[in-house]
C-alpha cells in the first residue's frame, strides 16, 4: 500500500514538473507584446522592425520616419524586457509662404511694391479733402498662412493712418480702432486672404505691408529608443486612440550624444483594429455617433449626426436622454414621473391630472363632513335644570 502511494506521489511530482517546463517554454516563445499589459498595441496603425545592434552596451537608436505619413506623433517599442517609451524628434525650419498684395485703385503692376522686401519701393495714398479717404488692401497667399501680427513700414516724415480694421473672408480679426504704431496684433488666425482697411487723416506713403507668418516646415522626423545589445525590437507607431502610459523611469533620450541612426520601413500593423469608442461595430472615423452605440447609423435629418446623439429640439440634451426629444425643455420637468416631460405629455398619468375636478370634489365632501360633525357635537350638550339623583338621596328614601 505504501509503495503504491509513493509511486502516485512520484508520478504527481513528475507531472507538475512537466507542465511547468511546457508552460515555461510556451511563455518563452510568446511575443513580448503578448506578455505585457501596459499598452494596447492594437491602437497603432504601423510598425517598424528593428534588427539587433552590435554595440556592447545599451545604445540609443534613432529611426527616421516620413513625418507626413503618420497622424499621431507618438510610438512605443517592444522587445527584450517588454514595452518601453520612445521619443519623437523633429527638426523644423521657418518657411514663409509667398503673398500677393492688391489695392482697389492701383494697377496690378504697382501692387508688388508693398511685398517685395525693398524699402526703396513705395506706394502713395493721396488725401482727398472732400472724399472718404478710405484705403483697402488685400493680402492673399496660394496656401493658408498662420499669423497674429501685421507689420507696416512707412517712409520717414509720414503719419500713420487714423484707424485700421482687419478681417478675413470668414471673420473680423480687428474691429476699426485707432492705429498707434507700425505693428498690430490680433488673435492667431489661419487663412489665405486678409483684408485691411485704413482711414486716413494725412497723406500716406507705405513701403511694406507684411503679415508675420508663424508657419514651420518639418525637415526631419525620427523615433528614438534605448536598445539592448543583440535584441530584436518592434516600433509601434501612430496610435488612433489612448493606448496607455509608460513611465520613463528616469531615462532621458534628449541628449544627441551617442545616438546611432538606422534605417526602418513603415509597415501596416497586423494587430491594428480601428478605434470604436462605443463598441457598436462602426469605427469612430465613420461613426455618426462616436460616443453612443448605434450600429444602424440612422440619421433622419441627414445632418451627419446619428439620431441617437442628435438634439432635434436644440435644448442642449441629446435625444437618448431627452424626455421630450421634439419639444425644448432643458429643465426636463416630469411632474408625474412617467418619463415623459410635462411639455410633451398630452395626458398626464395621475388620476388628479386626468380629472382635475376630483380635488375640488374631495375638498367639498370634507367641508360637508366637518360641518356635520360640528352640529352633532353641539347636540350632545346636557340640558339645563335636570335633577340628578345622588347615592345619599337613594339611602334617605329607604
pLDDT in tens, 153-187: 888 888 888 899 999 999 999 999 998 888 999 99
The string of DSSP letters for 338-386 reads: SSS-GGG-SS-SSHHHH-THHHHHHHHHHHHHHHHHHHHHHHTSPPTT-
pLDDT in tens, 259-311: 999 988 999 999 999 888 888 888 887 888 888 888 999 888 887 888 888 88
Burial class (CB in 10 A: 0-12, 13-18, 19+), 110: middle
Q: Cell for 199?
A: 482711414
What pLDDT does 34 receive? Answer: 40
Say what the pTM is: 0.48
Q: Is the dihedral of CA 365, 366, 369, 371 positive or negative?
A: negative
**Dist CA 123 CA 205 (whole Å):** 6
Burial class (CB in 10 A: 0-12, 13-18, 19+), 327: middle
Please tell me the total number of residues recorded for the chain in this structure: 398
Torsion from C-alpha of 370, 375, 377, 381, nearest 10 degrees: 170
Selection from 267, 273, 209 nearest residue 241 by Cα: 273
Choose between 378 and 62: higher pLDDT: 62
**Res 33 pLDDT > 80:** no
**Dist CA 20 CA 37 (whole Å):** 22
**Res 25 pLDDT > 60:** no
**Res 27 pLDDT > 50:** no
**Res 394 pLDDT > 70:** no
What pLDDT does 318 receive? Answer: 84
> How crowded is the C-beta side of 303, counted as CA atoms within 13 Å?
10
β-bridge partners, 223? 63, 88
Domain 99-214: which topology?
Jelly Rolls (2.60.120)
Residue pair 108/102 in contact (Cβ under 8 Å)? The answer is yes
Give residue 383's pLDDT band: very low, low, confident or very high (50, 70, 90).
low
Residue pair 298/307 in contact (Cβ under 8 Å)? The answer is yes
Give kind and range of the element (H or E) at residue 237: strand 233-239
Residue pair 292/309 in contact (Cβ under 8 Å)? The answer is yes
Beta-strand pair 134-154/233-239: unpaired
Match 495714398 to its residue by C-alpha cell.
125
**Res 205 pLDDT > 60:** yes
b/e per residue 286-320 (b: at least 16 CB within 10 A): ebbbbebbbeeeebeeeeebbbbbbebbebebbbe
Domain boundaries, the chain: 44-90+218-273, 99-214
H-only helix segments in 64-154: none
Residue pair 72/239 in contact (Cβ under 8 Å)? The answer is yes
Match 500500500 to its residue by C-alpha cell.
1
Rounded (5°) CA angle 8-10-16: 100
Q: What is the CATH number of domain 44-90+218-273?
A: 2.60.40
**Res 3 pLDDT > 80:** no
Beta-strand pair 123-125/204-213: antiparallel
Amino acid at each position: 500500500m505504501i509503495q503504491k502511494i509513493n509511486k502516485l506521489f512520484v508520478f504527481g511530482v513528475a507531472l507538475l514538473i512537466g507542465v511547468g517546463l511546457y508552460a515555461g517554454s510556451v511563455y518563452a516563445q510568446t511575443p513580448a507584446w503578448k506578455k505585457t499589459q501596459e499598452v494596447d498595441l492594437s491602437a497603432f496603425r504601423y510598425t517598424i522592425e528593428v534588427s539587433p545592434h552590435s554595440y556592447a552596451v545599451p545604445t540609443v537608436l534613432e529611426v527616421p520616419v516620413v513625418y507626413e505619413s503618420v497622424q499621431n506623433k507618438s510610438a512605443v517599442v517592444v522587445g527584450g524586457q517588454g514595452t518601453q517609451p520612445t521619443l519623437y524628434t523633429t527638426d523644423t525650419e521657418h518657411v514663409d509662404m509667398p503673398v500677393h498684395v492688391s489695392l482697389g485703385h492701383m494697377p496690378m503692376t504697382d501692387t508688388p511694391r508693398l511685398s517685395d522686401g525693398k524699402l526703396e519701393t513705395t506706394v502713395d495714398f493721396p488725401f482727398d479733402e472732400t472724399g472718404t479717404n478710405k484705403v483697402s488692401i488685400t493680402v492673399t497667399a496660394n496656401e493658408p498662412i498662420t499669423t497674429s501680427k501685421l507689420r507696416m513700414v512707412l517712409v520717414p516724415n509720414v503719419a500713420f493712418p487714423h484707424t485700421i480694421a482687419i478681417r478675413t473672408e470668414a471673420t473680423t480679426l480687428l474691429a476699426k480702432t485707432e492705429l498707434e504704431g507700425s505693428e498690430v496684433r490680433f488673435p492667431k488666425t489661419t487663412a489665405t486672404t486678409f483684408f485691411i482697411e485704413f482711414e486716413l487723416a494725412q497723406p500716406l506713403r507705405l513701403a511694406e505691408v507684411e503679415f508675420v507668418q508663424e508657419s514651420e516646415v518639418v525637415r526631419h522626423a525620427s523615433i528614438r529608443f534605448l536598445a539592448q545589445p543583440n535584441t530584436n525590437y518592434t516600433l509601434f507607431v501612430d496610435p488612433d486612440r489612448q493606448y496607455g502610459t509608460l513611465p520613463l523611469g528616469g531615462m532621458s533620450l534628449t541628449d544627441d550624444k551617442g545616438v546611432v541612426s538606422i534605417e526602418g520601413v513603415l509597415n501596416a500593423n497586423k494587430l491594428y483594429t480601428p478605434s470604436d469608442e462605443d463598441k457598436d461595430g462602426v469605427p469612430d472615423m465613420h461613426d455618426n455617433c462616436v460616443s453612443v452605440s448605434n450600429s444602424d447609423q440612422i440619421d433622419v435629418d441627414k445632418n451627419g449626426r446619428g439620431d441617437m446623439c442628435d438634439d432635434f429640439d436644440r435644448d442642449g440634451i441629446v435625444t437618448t436622454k431627452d424626455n421630450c426629444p421634439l419639444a425644448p425643455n432643458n429643465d426636463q420637468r416630469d411632474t408625474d414621473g412617467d418619463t415623459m416631460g410635462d411639455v410633451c405629455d398630452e395626458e398626464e398619468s395621475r388620476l388628479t391630472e386626468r380629472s382635475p375636478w376630483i380635488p375640488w370634489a374631495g375638498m367639498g365632501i370634507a367641508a360637508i363632513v366637518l360641518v356635520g360633525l360640528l352640529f352633532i357635537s353641539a347636540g350632545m350638550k346636557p340640558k339645563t335644570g335636570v335633577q340628578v339623583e345622588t347615592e345619599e338621596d337613594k339611602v334617605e328614601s329607604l
